[in-house]
Amino acid sequence: MTRRLILMRHAKSSWANPGQPDHARPLNGRGRDSAVALGDWLRGRGYLPEQALVSSARRTRDTFAGLALPVTPVLDDGLYHAGSLRMLATLRAARGQTVLMIGHNPGIAEFAEVIVQAPPGHGRFADYPTGATLVADFPISAWDQIRPGMASAVDFIIPRELRR
């Protein structure tokens, strides 16, 4: 059996209000457009999660809302600026066959690198820009079986590649 992870960094956020707490920063216009495009891409490729684990920060919640996926997100304070170990622990408790996780850099880039056997052949994988999305398959029957380096990269996209 296989489990699938869709690992997404939040879309581009706004810095319009410099005094605003980091946790409360929303998406900017480009970020909102990117979230919609990423949702279209996920649906078009058939990458539909049964569970969504989303950092509680506003920009990750806004990204998830823009995806317009038919799943209720689990908002997780622990994913806010989480490192790869925290992300791994969170994923080990997941329940869906296909799970979407939305988080932040630098942790999400580190986690993506740690979980795959080999990185996808994409020049932006290492820095994982805003909106970057990895689709990875694990040869497991339950999420608590995941270990670093066992996932196969299936797909990787950045929002700039989706602009019309």
Residue 164's pLDDT band (cuts 50, 70, 90): low
pLDDT at 74: 97
End-to-end CA distance of the chain: 37
Tell the CATH topology of 3-118+126-162. Answer: Rossmann fold (3.40.50)
pLDDT mean across residues, the chain: 96
Quick one: what percent of the chain has pLDDT higher than 90?
95
Mean pLDDT, residues 19-48 taken together = 96
CA angle 157, 115, 142 (to 5 degrees): 105
Q: Give whole-number Cα distances, 64 to 74, 86, 118, 135, 150, in Å.
A: 11, 20, 27, 16, 26
Q: How far apart are CA 81 and CA 83, in angstroms?
A: 7
Model pTM?
A: 0.97
β-sheet bridge partners, residue 73: 52
pLDDT at 64: 98
Domain layout of the chain by residue ranges? 3-118+126-162
The 10 Å Cβ neighbour count of residue 136 is: 21
Provide the 3-class DSSP secondary structure of residue 7: strand
